[in-house]
Amino acid sequence: MQTPLELFEAQLDLITDVCVDPWFREQLALSRSGDEQARRRISGSCLRLVLNTARRWSPESPLSLLGLAEDGNRILMKTVKQFHGSTAAEFLQELIQNLESEYSRLLGPPVG
């Protein structure tokens, strides 16, 4: 029987979208026009990044890795909705900054 984290990671393996241009620009334009599926595609393409960022913070956290990833997913959706840039690189940079800022706020600065 798989753990919830193993199930989550297995679902990540099914995602084929990659957050790079020109795909990202197309999805961003659709998202900005109100297409919720485009927002979900952008988010889905970044879930592995969210999990990897949460994994770096998990040794310092009283929260589970899955709990940190869930919080990261919330930050991811917020970033998609509020992003004002235009490129995948800008988006990924902003997402990482938002994740690091949120985890730092929750857990304090990382040790080491």
Q: Does a cis peptide bond (omega within 30 degrees of 0) precede residue 62?
A: no
CATH of the domain at 42: 1.10.1740
8 assigned to some structural domain: no
Give the structural domain span for 23. Answer: 17-107
User: Is residue 80 included in any domain, yes or no?
Assistant: yes
Cis bond before residue 109 (omega within 30° of 0): no
Task: Evaluate whether residue 112 is within a structural domain.
Answer: no
Instruction: Cite the DSSP H helix spans in 1-112.
Output: 4-12, 23-32, 36-57, 65-82, 88-107
Give Cα 82 distance to the centre of its chain: 14
Residue type, 1: M
Give yes or no for residue 86 having a pLDDT over 80: yes
Closest CA to 103 of 81, 77, 73: 73
Q: What is the pLDDT of residues 14-33, one digit of tens each?
A: 999 999 999 999 999 999 99
58 part of a folded domain: yes
Task: Select from 29, 17, 19 the least CA-distant residue to 90.
Answer: 19
Nearest to 95, CA basis, from 105, 81, 106 = 81
Q: How many domains does the chain have?
A: 1
Model confidence over 30-76: pLDDT tens digits? 999 999 999 999 999 999 999 999 999 988 777 789 899 999 999 99
According to the model, what pLDDT value does residue 24 have? Answer: 98
pTM of the model: 0.90
pLDDT for residue 108: 82
